[in-house]
Amino acid sequence: MNLSIADLTALIMVVFTFVTTVANILLWISTRRTVTILLDQVRHQIASGYSQAQHSVIDAHRDLFFGILNNPTLREAFTQANGLDLKDWELQKVSEFLVNQVLIGFLNFKNGIISGVHFDGFTRDARDVFAYPSIRSHWKKMRSVHSEDFRHFVETKLLFEEP
């Protein structure tokens, strides 16, 4: 087989073009995977930030309540000024905190912060929380302030009655 310089040059160009094309395809696949990974990380960071913000709000709420509860003068003044029975008010606050703890777990699952396996165990524990009459009573009064997906979770997974 006799190849002229022009034929040899053309053959080298075809091989070079083929190698370059394959390299570009591999680079494109790699870049696409990297971008997908980065997008997943950003989504996870946003979800984590949202869950952390929700947790901070609930912590601040709990700190405020304990500040009032641990200051007898303030506690007495607050309950009298608002016409509240101290024991009923305390029970309401404890119920709120427990419902909010379940909400945090739900949001962490929904936002991908905790896995389905861990959420199954959490759901069993949350079902025990919602078995208390004070929690059920509080839920009936406050369910409308929660999101539709959280209400659905509570009412189908936590409040259902076993046959």
Tell me what pLDDT residue 163 has: 46
Tell me what pLDDT residue 70 has: 87
- 101, 67, 72: which is closest to 86 by C-alpha? 72
Residue 56 belongs to some domain of the structure: yes
Residue 95 belongs to domain spanning = 46-158
The C-alpha torsion from 45 through 48 and 54 to 57, rounded to 10°, is: -80
Residue 99 belongs to some domain of the structure: yes
Residue 76 belongs to some domain of the structure: yes
How far is residue 158 from each of residues 7, 109, 161, measured CA to CA in Å?
A: 77, 15, 9
- 100, 107, 106: which is closest to 46 by C-alpha? 107
- On the question of pLDDT at 162 being above 60, the answer is no
Residue 133 belongs to some domain of the structure: yes
* Confidence band, pLDDT 50/70/90 cuts, at residue 56: confident
Residue 28 belongs to some domain of the structure: no
* Confidence band, pLDDT 50/70/90 cuts, at residue 1: low
pTM: 0.66
Residue 103 belongs to some domain of the structure: yes
Whole-angstrom distance, CA of residue 6 vs CA of residue 4: 5
Residue 30 belongs to some domain of the structure: no
Whole-angstrom distance, CA of residue 127 vs CA of residue 121: 10
How far is residue 55 from each of residues 13, 52, 58, measured CA to CA in Å?
A: 62, 5, 5
Count the domains in the chain.
1
The pLDDT tens digits of the residues spanning 84-110 come to: 998 898 888 889 989 988 998 998 898
